[in-house]
């Protein structure tokens, strides 16, 4: 499957195209949010690399439009400045990752690979981390081949974080996943997160990032 690049600046786009082509990706480039939407309507892309600064609708508006149209393709946002507020906004809109300009081609290719690996793992239903295996369709968590018992809410927290492993998931999104029909307080959510954390032991870490949300990180083997 091809990658979609949404970037209006020719010099930046050429550099990205060279880097991704060298990493064996086939890339379709468009110059605007509108052209990106048209391309996505015609073809299924493995990933979209989207610059924030575009003529007409900007990159974040594009992400919001894709998500509200039910498109789940992974999105990597390129941005010149990346403040905390920018990140929160982009994550809330449904972006999957960011890269601040300027960046190295190798880093862009690595981020693309990671995003596509995560989304294909999630599509197969089984996400394998170092010592942990999460079967999303069978709702089973195994650590070192041993099945771990989780409550329904612990499972929902895990599922929500595993689908975006390595990325910051806003607290509101986890709250929504755990209790879509009712309000759950941040404290109540923290209780489920703490219990899940204890069950994961040292197989994975759930980090709390103040003001941003949670991030599940796999542990590298020692
Ligand atoms: Ca641009």
Ion ligand 1: residues, CB < 5 A = 8-9, 51, 53
Please compute the mean of the pLDDT values over residues 145-169 and round it to a whole number.
90
Query: What pLDDT is attached to residue 131?
Result: 87
Q: Which helix (H) or strand (E) holds 127?
A: strand 126-128
Q: Which residues pair with 146 in a beta bridge?
A: 143
Domains of the chain: total? 2
Q: Please tell me whether residues 151 and 92 are part of one structural domain.
A: no
Domain boundary among 60, 94, 119: 119
Q: Please tell me whether residues 150 and 45 are part of one structural domain.
A: no
Q: Please tell me whether residues 96 and 205 are part of one structural domain.
A: no
Domain boundary among 87, 102, 119: 119
pTM over 0.75: no
Q: How far is the centre of ligand 1, averaged over its atoms, from the C-alpha of 67 (Å)? A: 21
* CATH number where 33 lies: 3.40.50.2300
Q: How far is the centre of ligand 1, averaged over its atoms, from the C-alpha of 11 (Å)? A: 10
* DSSP state for residue 134 in the 8-state scheme: E
Q: Across the beta sheet with 146-148, what order do the strands follow?
A: 126-128, 132-135, 140-143, 146-148
Q: How far is the centre of ligand 1, averaged over its atoms, from the C-alpha of 9 (Å)? A: 5
Give the model's confidence band at 3: pLDDT under 50 very low, under 70 low, under 90 confident, else very high.
very high
b/e per residue, 160-177, with b = 16+ CB within 10 A? bbbbbbbbbbbbebbbeb
User: What Å distances lie between residue 209 and 84, 88, 90, 133, 166, CA to CA?
Assistant: 11, 11, 16, 24, 12
* DSSP state for residue 220 in the 8-state scheme: P
- Average pLDDT across the chain, whole number: 88
Question: For residue 43, what are the domain limits?
Answer: 2-119
């Amino acid at each position: 499957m091809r990658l979609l690049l949404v970037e209006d600046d020719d010099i930046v786009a050429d550099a990205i195209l060279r880097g991704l082509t060298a990493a064996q990706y086939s890339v379709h480039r468009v110059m605007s949010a509108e052209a990106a939407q048209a391309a996505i309507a015609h073809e299924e892309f493995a990933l979209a690399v989207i610059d924030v600064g575009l003529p007409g609708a900007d990159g974040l508006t594009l992400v919001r439009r894709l998500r509200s149209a039910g498109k789940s393709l992974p999105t990597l946002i390129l941005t010149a400045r990346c403040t905390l507020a920018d990140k929160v906004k982009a994550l809330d809109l449904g972006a999957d990752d960011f890269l601040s300009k300027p960046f190295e081609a190798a880093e862009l290719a690595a981020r693309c690979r990671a995003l596509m690996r995560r989304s294909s793992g999630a599509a197969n239903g089984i996400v394998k981390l170092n010592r942990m295996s999460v079967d999303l369709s069978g709702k089973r968590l195994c650590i070192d081949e041993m099945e771990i018992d989780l409550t329904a809410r612990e499972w929902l927290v895990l599922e929500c974080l595993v689908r975006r492993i390595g990325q910051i998931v806003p607290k509101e999104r986890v709250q929504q996943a755990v209790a879509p029909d009712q309000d759950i307080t941040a404290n109540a959510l923290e209780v489920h997160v703490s219990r899940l954390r204890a069950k994961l032991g040292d197989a994975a870490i759930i980090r709390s990032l103040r003001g941003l949300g949670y991030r599940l990180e796999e542990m590298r083997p020692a």
